[in-house]
Structure 1
Amino acid sequence: MNLESEFARHRGELVAHCYRMLGSLHDAEDVVQETYLRAWKGFADFERRSSVRTWLYRIATRLSLNALRHSSRRLVPSALGAPGTDPNALAPPELATAWLEPFPDHLLGPDPAQVVGTRQSLRLALVAALQHLPPRQRAVLIFREVLAWPAAEVAELFGTTPAAVNSSLQRARAELARVAPAEDRLSEPDAPARRALLDQYARAFEHADLAALEGLLTRDVRWEMPPRPTWFHGREDVLRLLAAKLVPGGGMRTTVATSANGQPAFAVYTRGKDGGFHARYLQVLTLAEEGVSAVLAFHRPDLFPSFGLPVDRAA
């Protein structure tokens, strides 16, 4: 295998690794691009004391830590304070805030075994929780828990001892247990029930059918809408939000199923005055056996191309 093919083979997992570190797809792709530039320039000095894959991970991690010196945490609205209750009093979008971004699953590549193993470690609840850890602690946990690197190998990367690595890992685990959302521990419905739930949700949302949505949302559902910091918790308040913001009736919006962070997602398009449909937001759903337990709606039409989706669709 030539060097170019070797580099290309690891691109998807490297982007996923940097995304876990940074919480931003765009930042992760920039770091991986810089990783490859440095690897090409430095390959003559690469002594093959490790695999090319390990070498690339070392470069990407150092670059990610450098990036985190300037901004170490990506946020979700629920990390900022208590939920809102009035859908007519939404805070304005905070465009200067570093918000968490979704990860398109198609970037993981065609290998089913790798995709299944990687998706679980990309779930939004976990990536959001990782943002609470200091950068080096975050990296240690990812290497030890997600990538299963030996402590000695992680210690070599950071210029420390295996004992120090294990101590850092224990602190990271404790903090993660403290901040990890309860929904991440919920069991999902089986495949047939999952398909039925998603079909019913898409149909109900497209038609603004609040009665149907009431039966699909869990009692403690959470609804977040970055870049707006206001978020809602509980079926009653979420339904009040949807009643206030969804134009009633069919034909006003359409959804396209996709997948982000190993979770089901829908790209939502709304009808414009020109009669066409235009990108509005990307919903990433968390499912429980009882129904939809969380919706993180990224109001970022610029994210659609990363998911292979057009910004505009014909009526």
Structure 2
Amino acid sequence: MNLEDEFAQYRGELVAHCYRMLGSLHDAEDAVQEAYLRAWRGFAEFEQRSSVRTWLYRIATRVCLNALQHSSRRMVPSALGAPGTDPNDLEAQALETSWLEPFPDLLMSTDPALVVGTRQSLRLAMVAALQHLPPRQRAVLILRDVLAWQASEVADLLETTTAAVNSSLQRARAELAKLAPTEEEYSEPDEPVRRALLDRFAKAFESADLVALEGLLTQDTRWEMPPTPTWFNGREDVLRLLAVKLTPGEGLRSMVETSANGQPAFGLYIRGRDGAFHAHSIKVLTVTKAGISAVLAFHRADLFPSFGLPLVRFPQV
């Protein structure tokens, strides 16, 4: 295998690693591109004291830490304040805020040895929780608990001591325990039940069937819509929001299934005056055995190409 092919085989997992660090797919792709440029330029000095994969992770982590010196952490609306109650009184879109972005599953590694750890560590709630950690703590936790690096390896990368790494890891784990989802929240229903729930959700959303949606949402469900800071908590308030925002009628909306962060997702298209369906938002669902417990709706049409979805879809004749 030549060097170019060897570099290429790690691209997907490096993008995922940088995404955990940065909370943004676009920033992660930029970071990996910068890491590869540095690797090409510095390969003559690579002494092969580690594998090429480990060496690339070291470079990419340093690129991310450097980027985090000049940026604010990625946010979700629920981290900014209390939920709203009036769907007719939404705050204006906060385009200057650095919002968390979804990660398309089609970019995930296909290596079976990486899939299980990748899925859990890339779930939206987990990545949102990671953003609360200081950058170096974030790097320590990801390298130790996701990539299973030795403390001495992390210490060498961060130019610190093993004791300092272990102390940082302990603090990071304690903070994450307060913020990250529990194992129970990760528990999804069996596939036939999950499949039926998603099909019913898509159909109910397309037709603005609030009665059907009520039966699919959990009592404590949460609905967020970055870049709009206002978010809603609890089935009653979420349904009140949907009653205002979903115009009743068939053929006005189209939901295309996809997946993000190891979770089910839909690309929502809205029918325009030209008769075509135009990209509107990527909705990432948290599905539990009790129903849909959260929807994070990213109102950004520019995300669609990353999911392999077109910006415009035409009705089938």
Which interval holds the TM-score relative to the shorter structure? over 0.9
Do the aligned residues in 2 keep the contact of 1:279 with 1:312 (CA within 8 Å)? yes
1:120 Cα deviation from its structure 2 partner: 1.4
1:117 is matched with 117
**1:244-298: CA deviation from partner (whole Å, max 9, x where unpaired):** 0001021100010001000000000010011110000000000110100000000
TM-aligned CA distance change 1:183 to 1:73, over 3 Å: farther
Do the aligned residues in 2 keep the contact of 1:301 with 1:311 (CA within 8 Å)? yes
2:18 is matched with 18
Counterpart CA distance in 2 for 1:154 and 1:19 is 19
Counterpart CA distance in 2 for 1:65 and 1:12 is 19
Do the aligned residues in 1 keep the contact of 2:75 with 2:98 (CA within 8 Å)? yes
Structure 1 counterpart of 2:108, which letter? L
2:189 is matched with 189
Structure 1 counterpart of 2:283, which letter? Q
2:154 is matched with 154
Aligned pairs for 1:98-137 (under 5 A) are 98-137=98-137
2:31 is matched with 31
**1:10-48: CA deviation from partner (whole Å, max 9, x where unpaired):** 000000000000000000000100111111111111010
**1:121-158: CA deviation from partner (whole Å, max 9, x where unpaired):** 10000000000000000000000110000111111111
**1:213-246: CA deviation from partner (whole Å, max 9, x where unpaired):** 0000000000000000000000000000000000
TM-score (norm 1): 0.98
Counterpart CA distance in 2 for 1:149 and 1:250 is 53
1:284 is matched with 284
Identity %: 76
Which secondary structure does the structure 2 equivalent of 1:218 belong to?
strand
Counterpart CA distance in 2 for 1:98 and 1:257 is 26
1:178 Cα deviation from its structure 2 partner: 1.7
1:119 Cα deviation from its structure 2 partner: 1.4
Is residue 232 of structure 1 aligned with residue 229 of structure 2?
no
**1:159-199: CA deviation from partner (whole Å, max 9, x where unpaired):** 11111111000000111112224587352111111111111
Do the aligned residues in 2 keep the contact of 1:141 with 1:169 (CA within 8 Å)? yes
Structure 2 counterpart of 1:100, which letter? L
Aligned pairs for 1:174-253 (under 5 A) are 174-181=174-181, 185-253=185-253
Structure 1 counterpart of 2:151, which letter? A
Counterpart CA distance in 2 for 1:141 and 1:225 is 28
Counterpart CA distance in 1 for 2:131 and 2:171 is 14
Unpaired stretches in structure 1, ≥5 consecutive residues: none
Which secondary structure does the structure 1 equivalent of 2:102 belong to?
coil
Aligned pairs for 1:300-311 (under 5 A) are 300-311=300-311
Structure 2 counterpart of 1:207, which letter? S
Counterpart CA distance in 2 for 1:106 and 1:71 is 27
Counterpart CA distance in 2 for 1:43 and 1:186 is 41
Counterpart CA distance in 2 for 1:108 and 1:180 is 21
Which secondary structure does the structure 2 equivalent of 1:141 belong to?
helix
1:59 is matched with 59
Do the aligned residues in 2 keep the contact of 1:266 with 1:282 (CA within 8 Å)? yes
Q: Which runs of 4+ in 1 moved over 6 A?
A: none
Do the aligned residues in 2 keep the contact of 1:258 with 1:265 (CA within 8 Å)? yes
Counterpart CA distance in 1 for 2:184 and 2:257 is 22
Counterpart CA distance in 1 for 2:113 and 2:158 is 30
Which secondary structure does the structure 1 equivalent of 2:249 belong to?
coil
Do the aligned residues in 2 keep the contact of 1:72 with 1:131 (CA within 8 Å)? no
Structure 2 counterpart of 1:271, which letter? R
Which secondary structure does the structure 2 equivalent of 1:145 belong to?
helix
Q: How many residues align?
A: 315
